[in-house]
Amino acid sequence: MNEFLEKEEEVLKMLKTVFDPEIPVNIYDLGLIYRIEIDGTTCHIDMTLTAPSCPAADFLVEDIRQKVAGIEGIDHVDIQLVFEPEWTKDMMSEEAKLELGFL
């Protein structure tokens, strides 16, 4: 596996350790991550929230920033909160839907 794919895999692993304090499913399986791009030593992440007024927004962004910045070869984490497209339950993984009782 090349170095780029290894970094991307590490980012995915880290994102799966970030949980909204009110929802027992990680943000990746919730479908909140729209884009991951690694440009040299910078990781760009576009993400959304389950609701624009989510009280955990600052916590989630900081948790992501700290965890992804801890990956070897990542020196900077650029996180953009986006609300287009609007998040829906359909964006969740099958595992997340099962965990939350939507299946």
Per-residue pLDDT of the chain (103 residues; tens, 9 = 90+): 577 788 999 999 999 999 988 899 999 999 999 999 999 999 999 999 999 898 999 999 999 999 999 999 999 999 999 999 999 999 999 999 999 998 8
* Encoded amino acid at 98, one letter: L
* Encoded amino acid at 5, one letter: L
Q: How far apart are CA 59 and CA 37, in angstroms?
A: 22
Q: How far apart are CA 83 and CA 46, in angstroms?
A: 10
What domains, with CATH codes, occur in the chain?
Answer: 3-99 (3.30.300.130)
The answer to whether the CB of 59 falls within 8 A of the CB of 23 is no
Supply 70's token pair: 């801890």
Predicted TM-score (pTM) of this structure: 0.92
